[in-house]
Structure 1
Amino acid sequence: MKTLKDMINVGVIGCGSIAKFRHLPELDAHPQANIEAVCDANEDRAAKLARLYKSKYYLDYQELLEDSNIDAVIICLPHHLHAKVAVEAANAGKDILCEKPIATTLEEAEQMVEAAKSNNIKLMVGHNQRFAPSHQQAKQILDSGKLGKVTSFKTTFGHSGPENWSIEGKDSFYFTNDTIPFGVMGDLAIHKIDLVHYLLGELITHVTAMSGTFQKPTNHEDSSILLVRTHSGAIGTVTASWTYSMQENATVLYCENGVIRMEEGGEYPLMIQYNNKNAVYYKLGDLMTYERKEPEKSGVVFSFINSLLDHQKMLITGEDGYNALCVVLSAIEAEKTQSIVQVTTRMKQAVH
């Protein structure tokens, strides 16, 4: 059993944009997190970030895992490398925050979850949409029962593409690696799938999909629309695209007693419109605050560190990451077979 600590020493594996602009600034902003080391095969990247945060750097992640001063790791590597590194980190006794998607296959995701359990360490997946103030407030309202059952929904995540975010630019692994099974579905749609699971408190059970590659130099899809059904029977669409010149991140839930509108733009990130014509407008921090590179604003790292300090359950578990990946892979199968696929998970839904 791990003892309570006043400080969590963290090693960050992978020094690309997600580490540089989100995880490292958020670690630096947390009063009880210490950036003990960073790691990247590119020595220039690793050395620059190590100097910035006054930490050590490694070129080999296995050497970082052997560092006895490190309590936890954040994995910021290309998707197909997540599982191998996470399993080794679990075997080394390090708690883990892994960027989404948890892995590229269900077998790999299950290996990660089982390695964490067998080594009694915590595994969290970085589905950051759960931490948006509008989404957390909407979750409270839904759980209160005021709006009744969700009957249908639509959710969209679109931006201009990974080449405008990745540190590799047009050489992003999405454009150069054909071994990963998805493009925008594993990058953006998976965020919204996890958000649906979180808000509704139930899993997506059936999916069909259509996708295409319209603008990006990749063999993977750059635009997708999924039609899904949840366990209770609610139906909805999940839209994801790398072809939007203006970012879109909206979610609308149609309920028995009204409508919840989130992140549609404008002054109010959350609006509740009741069937009796009354409306409530919430002026909250918007979802894209962290995109402006403000430390701690995504909430992911703070939640991870606080869970380790307080020995609390992670808000986004390995099982959650597995279940979201399961929907994405089922959507890919559905499109290939031009059918509706039943999403069969082998893992119990996490309770939130």
Structure 2
Amino acid sequence: MRIGIIGAGAVASFHAVAAAQIAGMELTAVCDLLPGTASAVADPYGAAVFTNYRALLDSGRVDAVIVNTPHGLHKDMVLAAAEAGVDVLVEKPMATTLADCDEMAAACIAAGVKLVVGQIQHFLPEKIAVERALATGELGAVQMIHDFRSTDYRPGRRSAWFFDSAMSGGGAFINIGGHCLDRSLWFGGAPVASVRATTVNRFGAPVETDGTMELSLTNEVAVSISIVSDMPRNVDELTVVCERGVITADPRRGTYLRRDGETTVLHESGPGDIQAGFTLQLQDFAKGVAGGTSAVSLAHARHIVEVVLAAYESAADGGAVALAGWPAIMPAGASALTD
């Protein structure tokens, strides 16, 4: 599989290393508006450099692309890839509107190309350790989940597009909150029935910098998500409360199980964990392209966007917002969203 990367900022280097680590895969092209930025990712692997993503897609150099660009550009780039007959791994969030999510899915289904959304939480070692512990059934049913993340949404600390709602789709909720929703709904085991949210705009930012979401899942699991900007210390902790124990996961420390007064280390974090996650994600994408089932369905990725948009509605109106649940809201004829 010949891989191209569209957008050489942020996590592009993780994708590039992943492609180099997987047998039968090769990074052959990198595109960025800034040729120097593209070259920094491409040159170690002898990949071609482009400054126009359509030229990359038309070059005949790639079988699949990773779209790693601002959120508002995802739809057009995925549609172009589908038209070119190229499989796509697009970074989260899938898009900034549900209509765009549906158009992307429909185009890829019609073109017979694979579309996968990069919800990286599913592949990080400390989160896999949580999944394995829950899968044993020894802890009983999940009762509630608390997810607490810090971030930095001060203007000047991020690229300008993060503060342009037309391009980003919002602030901390659609960006950091997308990770929290991914893992919380995964471990909660059901889609969201209702959401009540509060957002805060600090630092003169035009998008939300902080916020909370209180979610009720269709299986009655309660989920609380808090995102706080510019904290005294960095926080990224997920707590899963089960009938017979509690699991905490933190990428900086690891995954721990507390049961009957005793603590067990399920995973101890290491410096290679993030790269391991990106490599597993790209392996999963390759499996999906080959006809297997991807770990993250498009329905799940679409539902995350739906919940974020409902949270924005709740924050604006001050009340809870009910959701239909993703199996009922998939577009007609899009059964492949569950693949």
Give the match's secondary structure for 1:193: helix
- For residues 287 and 78 of structure 1, the distance between their equivalents in structure 2, rounded to whole angstroms, comes to 27
User: Which residue in 2 is equivalent to 1:209?
Assistant: 197
TM-score with structure 1 setting the length: 0.86
**Amino acid of the structure 2 residue aligned with 1:305:** A
Aligned length: 332
Decide which of 213, 220, 242 is 1:255's aligned counterpart: 242
Alignment of 1:113-262 (within 5 A): 113-161=105-153, 170-176=158-164, 178-215=166-203, 217-262=204-249
- For residues 313 and 192 of structure 1, the distance between their equivalents in structure 2, rounded to whole angstroms, comes to 23
**Amino acid of the structure 1 residue aligned with 2:176:** L
Does the aligned pair in 1 maintain the 2:2–2:25 contact within 8 Å? yes
What is the alpha-carbon root mean square deviation over aligned residues? 2.5
C-alpha distance after superposition, 1:37-92 (max 9, x if no partner): 11122223223433332111222111111133311000011000001110121222
Indicate how the Cα distance of structure 1 residues 46 and 162 shifts in structure 2: closer, same or farther if over 3 A, else same. farther
Decide which of 296, 299, 304 is 1:319's aligned counterpart: 299
Indicate how the Cα distance of structure 1 residues 262 and 50 shifts in structure 2: closer, same or farther if over 3 A, else same. closer
The alignment status of 1:26 with 2:18, answered yes or no, reads yes
| Deviation for aligned residue 1:127 | 1.2
- For residues 163 and 123 of structure 1, the distance between their equivalents in structure 2, rounded to whole angstroms, comes to 33
Residues 239-248 or 76-85, more deviating = 239-248
Indicate how the Cα distance of structure 1 residues 106 and 343 shifts in structure 2: closer, same or farther if over 3 A, else same. same
Does the aligned pair in 2 maintain the 1:134–1:287 contact within 8 Å? no
User: Which residue in 1 is equivalent to 2:102?
Assistant: 110
Residues 340-349 or 204-213, more deviating = 340-349
- For residues 25 and 192 of structure 2, the distance between their equivalents in structure 1, rounded to whole angstroms, comes to 35
Residues 40-49 or 122-131, more deviating = 40-49
User: Which residue in 1 is equivalent to 2:4?
Assistant: 11
| Deviation for aligned residue 1:188 | 0.6
TM-score with structure 2 setting the length: 0.89
**Amino acid of the structure 2 residue aligned with 1:99:** E
| Deviation for aligned residue 1:319 | 1.9
Q: Which runs of 5+ in 1 are unaligned?
A: 1-7
| Deviation for aligned residue 1:228 | 0.5
Over the matched positions of the two proteins, sequence identity in percent amounts to 22
| Deviation for aligned residue 1:176 | 4.4
